[in-house]
Amino acid sequence: MSLHSAVGPRQDENSIIEDDSNMASSSERTPLLASPSNTMPSRSMQYLAALSACTAAMAVGTTMGWTSAAEKPLTNSAIPGDYKIDSNQFSWVSAMLSIGAIVGAVPLGYLANIIGRKKVIILLAPFMSIGYLLLAFSTGFWMLLLGRFILGGVTGAYCVVVPMYTGEIAEPAIRGVLGSFFQLLITAGILLAYALNALNVSLLWINIVFAILPAIMAIMVLYFPDSPRWSISKGHETDARNALKVFRGTSDVEDEIQLIKDDITREREAKLPFSQAVSTTAAKKALFLALTVMLFQQFSGINAVIFYASQIFADAKVPLEESQCTVIVGVCQIIATYVSTLIIDRAGRKPLLISSGAIMAISGALLGLYFYLTEQTHVTDGVDISWLPIVSMVVFIILFSLGYGPIPWLYMGEVFSDQIKETGMSIATVVNWISVFIVTKFYGDLKEGIGGYGAFWVFSAISVLGCFFTFFFVLETKGKTFDQIQMELAGEKPKNLNRI
């Protein structure tokens, strides 16, 4: 995954919009931080809340980088350890994260509609800690599988709920920036795993450090209000009003409150069963675009690179330690992802996807060429091209992080209408994790069957197809309101197309 959004509301059609100011108690009271006198200037609290929630994405990133750090200690008989597993068992341990995510994404995503986005983010943190503690004190293969499965379930849920939360607290003008925080913090988690491995921290302590991270995240999120939109959908209008005062840095929020109420009312009045809602042209096109962009993201080979980075560098026989190479890749990834937060709302979705896919295809093809020349020919005898795999991997990661990393997660939240957003987001997330499972579980088989060069040439060909698909079919959503996006998906010319 990369896994990885402006996500619209998930609402309960039986909820009644009403002011709860006279209620004796509320299930979701805004904390003291909501007092207008404690607010920071406009947008500051949106950034802080999004970063706090996206610390969960950093925890998600550790589950991805863990594989690279764990492979040698668990499979190399020359390294002391309580037990060893073979390469096939390790491939299942690696892929079990995806299976857990597939199982957990949908039901835990729905739970966020019942009890709130914030509560789900906080309540899942202890389960992530438990997953890592199972890995830390594992006594065999089955405990590893269980720990990775639990981590996968929480990871799948966070990939749905955290982008939903950040999307619902964001103003349209910074929706893309806040949405890209999710991928940025995922890369930070991956880098943390690579760095601890490069510092020769034992796998036991790596797992313990990763078990602490979700607890820190939960404490940070505790001090911010829940989604104003969710609060209004549950009849907690006072909580929503206080939350908006915090997030907007102003007490003048009545117009936005009314807009949210009107939007929720329209949504409930127009609410249809999924099978009926998806029958419209706009819904079909949105589902097709969101799923296809997700598939191109994963079958570009990104998770083969992230999960097996150390192995790839070992196969390439580069002059640096594999762990050092992975840190270089991780640093480049986080820098590039940060840059994407600055340009994603300026450059637009399509240009970034096309340029990202094109250069990923070139760098992947060059990496494949390196393996072909060194494994199948003697052309490189006496010629030092050991720099080529490092450069190719770094360029691949940088361009992925600028486009195909953050944009699919942002994009699926933008193209789904409110009628299908809840189910559509879950379907897209499940499809993403199924793709992660296929790539991570069968990358080794693909490499054995057609060679390392063949595997990367396959990934490059898929990236080329992604460029053509994006150019001809993907709808640009930069600066458009949700209504404008839906009109364009339906083939209508949107009115008042203002760039925000």
CA angle 171, 31, 418 (to 5 degrees): 35
Query: How many angstroms separate the CA atoms of 84 and 91, rounded?
Result: 13
Distance (Å) of CA 240 to CA 50, 117, 174, 252, 305: 17, 13, 20, 13, 43
- pLDDT at residue 5, as a whole number: 33
Distance (Å) of CA 175 to CA 113, 193, 277, 324, 338: 21, 29, 25, 35, 15
- pLDDT at residue 230, as a whole number: 87
Q: Which amino acid is at 189?
A: G
Tell how far CA 152 is from the center of its chain.
13
Structure tokens at 282: 């706009």
Burial class (CB in 10 A: 0-12, 13-18, 19+), 84: middle
Which of 106, 147, 150, 102 lies closest to 124 in space, CA to CA?
150
Query: How many angstroms separate the CA atoms of 451 and 454, rounded?
Result: 5
Which of 436, 400, 180 lies closest to 298 in space, CA to CA?
436
Query: How many angstroms separate the CA atoms of 286 and 67, rounded?
Result: 34
Q: Kindly provide the b/e burial profile for residues 325-361, where b requires at least 16 CB atoms within 10 angstroms of the residue's own CB.
A: bbbbbbbbbbebbeebbeebbebbbbebbbbbbbbbb
Report yes or no: 115 and 227 within 8 Å, Cβ to Cβ. no
Give me the tens of pLDDT residue by residue for the chain, a chain 500 residues long: 444 333 333 333 333 333 443 333 343 444 434 444 444 446 778 889 888 999 999 999 999 889 888 888 888 766 666 778 888 888 889 889 989 988 887 788 778 888 989 999 999 999 999 999 999 999 889 999 999 999 999 998 898 889 888 888 888 777 777 877 887 888 889 889 988 988 889 999 999 999 999 999 999 999 899 988 888 888 888 888 888 888 887 787 788 888 888 877 877 776 677 677 777 888 888 889 989 999 999 898 887 777 667 667 776 666 667 777 778 878 887 888 788 777 877 788 889 999 999 999 998 898 888 888 877 766 655 566 777 877 888 888 888 888 888 788 778 878 887 777 777 877 887 888 888 888 877 877 787 788 778 888 999 999 999 999 999 998 888 877 777 888 888 887 766 554 43
- pTM of the entire predicted model: 0.74
